[in-house]
Homo-oligomer: A and B are copies of this chain.
C-alpha cells in the first residue's frame, strides 16, 4: 500500500460539498471514482477540511491509499484526465508516509473569503464572490476582526449542525484587506467550526456597513449563543486556501 497526498483545486458551484453526500454530487465521490477507474481498487479519500455546497478550494489537501505501485506524476495526470469535465483538478501528487493523514496530521488551515464591494451584479466572478452593494468600511472591519483573534468559545459563530467536540478554538489570523472593489478576508487557525468563517464574515460586513460597532461584535462573541449571530455570509465567496503540516 502506498499513500498519495493530493492537492486539489475545485469550483464548489456544482457540488453538494467536498464530502460524499447521499443526495447529490460531491468532490469526494468524483475523486474516489477517478482513483477506482485508474487503479481498479476501491478508494477512500480523506481531506484536510469539509467544505459546504458552493464553497471552493484553491489548495485542499487530501490522501488516498493505493495497493498497486504508481508514479505520482502519472497518477496526477491520469486523475486529471478522468476528472474532466468536472471542475476539479489535482495540482500536486506525492507519496507520503503511511502515518501521514490529510485530516489528522493537519496543524493549520486557512481560508480566504472574497467580497466584491460594488453596486453592479457580478459577471466574471458570479458564484465566486459575495457582491455587497453598500460601501464597506474596511479599516473598521479589520479592527473589529481582531476581537475574534485568539482563544475563544465560538458558539455564536457555529452552525447548529457542527459536529466538533468543543466550540473553543484558537483563531490565529483574521485580516480584512481591500484592493479596489475586492475585499479579501484571510482567516487562519488550527481548525474551524462548521460555518465559522462565513458567520464571522457576515458579522464583519455588518460592521463594515456601520450597523454594528466593534463592541457589538465582541458582545456577540461573548454571548456564546447562535441567536446572537448577525448574519451568515453565502458560500460563493469562500475558498479553502491551504493546509499546513508541521
User: What residues make up the interface of A, taking CB atoms closer than 8 Å to B?
Assistant: 9-11, 56, 58, 76-77, 80, 83-84, 87-91, 118-124, 126, 128
Contact = CB atoms under 8 A, between A and B. Distances in A.
Number of copies: 2
Contact of A121 (B89, B118, B119, B122): B89
Contact of A91 (B9, B88, B120): B120
18 contacts: A9-B120, A9-B124, A10-B124, A11-B123, A11-B124, A77-B119, A80-B119, A80-B120, A87-B123, A87-B124, A87-B126, A88-B123, A89-B120, A89-B121, A89-B122, A91-B118, A91-B120, A124-B128
Nearest to A8: B123
Contacts of A123: 9-11, 87-89
A156 to B, nearest CB: 31
A123 B80 CA distance: 11
A128 B84 CA distance: 17
Given A11-B124, A80-B120, 6 more contacts: A11-B126, A87-B122, A87-B124, A89-B121, A89-B123, A91-B120
B9 A119 contact: no
A116 to B, nearest CB: 10
A229 to B, nearest CB: 28
A169 B147 CA distance: 57
Contacts of A124: 9-11, 56, 58, 87, 128
A60 to B, nearest CB: 11
Contacts of A128: 124
A63 to B, nearest CB: 18
Nearest to A7: B120
Contacts of A90: 120
Contacts of A87: 122-124, 126
A124 B13 CA distance: 9
Nearest to A181: B91
A242 to B, nearest CB: 13
A120 B82 CA distance: 12
